[in-house]
């Protein structure tokens, strides 16, 4: 976009030709199974991110290649297995795979452009995979991320020991399963927005994360918002949006 506008300013490309180029191919069709949104970065500031679950490894490779070939500097893929990551590498794609988060990143890591720190906290160690998805997403979107794992309410002193980190954050992602109490506690301590992420971690009555979801939706702490069960990506994306305001 910048290069095209510079050419218009220099007079090497006419206004009409520039308008035509902008209208052409706002999406890229990939072999009949995907239409990659090439203008999303222009519209929203963040390019399309590939959700890997339910896609074949061949489809993921085709979409990623189309994005990179059309100028995308960084491509993030979520919810992929190590097998898929190895396949993508075998297709000539340089991929940084995070096994905990089940994410893959291709291209260059962007510079940090967020205004402050995004803190990602978990109630327990079992919540780390979802928290890692949130943390990686926020990092790929240009944020400084601080991880604060295993600080749940069953040992409140662990959280209180990190009050300097909590109070210096610009936005906090609080990830918890079981009864999902962590976001309410953090929401009562922090002076920034808290994004609650219920996880499917817990025994039978946790109902696959529904108990945590309902607890978080009913939080008495102000400033707490909630994303879907196990939606670390959605929380990391929202945290980045807040941190870039």
H-type alpha helices, the chain:
2-10, 15-23, 40-44, 57-69, 82-90, 128-140, 156-160, 163-168, 182-187, 210-217, 232-243
Tens of pLDDT, residue by residue over 40-97, are 776 777 778 899 999 999 999 999 988 888 778 899 999 999 999 999 999 999 999 9
103-107: strand order across its sheet: 50-51, 74-78, 103-107, 95-98
Residues 197 and 97 in one domain: no
Inter-helix orientation angle 2-10/15-23, to 10°: 160
Question: pLDDT-derived band of residue 25, with 50, 70 and 90 as boundaries?
Answer: low
In a domain, 16, yes or no: no
Phi and psi angles of residue 36, each rounded to the nearest 5 degrees, phi first:
-75, 125
Distance CA 189, CA 167 (A): 8
Residues 211 and 102 in one domain: no
| Residue whose C-alpha is closest to residue 205's, from 218, 195, 214 | 214
32: which 2 tokens? 């009949």
Residue 59 lies in domain: 23-107
Residues 141 and 222 in one domain: yes
Residues 70 and 137 in one domain: no
Residues 42 and 134 in one domain: no
Domain boundary at 107, 125, 144, which? 107
Residues 136 and 234 in one domain: yes
The pTM score is: 0.86
Residues 147 and 125 in one domain: yes
Residues 230 and 121 in one domain: yes
In a domain, 12, yes or no: no
Residues 186 and 231 in one domain: yes
In a domain, 10, yes or no: no
pLDDT at residue 5, as a whole number? 84
Domain boundary at 61, 78, 107, which? 107
pLDDT at residue 23, as a whole number? 66
pLDDT at residue 18, as a whole number? 80
Domain boundary at 79, 107, 135, which? 107
Distance CA 23, CA 149 (A): 46
Question: What domain count does the chain have?
Answer: 2
Would you mind telling me the total number of residues written for the chain in this entry?
245
Q: Largest Cα–Cα distance in the chain? A: 68
56: which 2 tokens? 């074949």
């Amino acid at each position: 976009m910048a290069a095209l506008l510079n050419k218009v300013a220099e007079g090497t490309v006419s206004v009409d030709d520039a308008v035509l180029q902008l209208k052409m191919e706002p999406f890229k069709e990939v072999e009949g199974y995907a239409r990659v949104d090439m203008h999303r970065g222009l519209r929203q500031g963040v390019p399309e991110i590939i959700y890997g679950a339910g896609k074949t490894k061949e489809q993921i490779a085709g979409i990623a290649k189309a994005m990179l070939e059309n100028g995308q500097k960084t491509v993030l893929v979520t919810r992929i297995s190590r097998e898929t990551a190895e396949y993508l590498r075998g297709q000539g794609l340089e991929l940084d795979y995070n096994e905990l988060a089940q994410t893959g990143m291709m291209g260059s890591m962007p510079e940090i452009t967020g205004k402050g720190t995004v803190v990602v906290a978990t109630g327990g160690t079992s919540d780390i995979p979802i928290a890692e998805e949130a943390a990686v997403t926020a990092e790929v979107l240009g944020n400084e991320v601080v991880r604060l794992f295993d600080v749940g309410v069953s040992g409140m002193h662990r959280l209180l020991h990190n009050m300097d980190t909590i109070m210096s954050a610009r936005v906090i992602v609080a990830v918890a399963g079981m009864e999902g109490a962590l976001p309410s506690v953090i929401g009562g301590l922090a002076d920034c927005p808290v994004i609650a992420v219920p996880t499917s971690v817990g025994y039978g009555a946790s109902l696959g994360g529904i108990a945590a979801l309902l607890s978080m939706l009913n939080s008495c702490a102000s400033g707490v918002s909630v994303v879907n069960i196990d939606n670390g990506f959605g929380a990391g994306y929202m945290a980045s949006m807040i941190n870039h305001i």
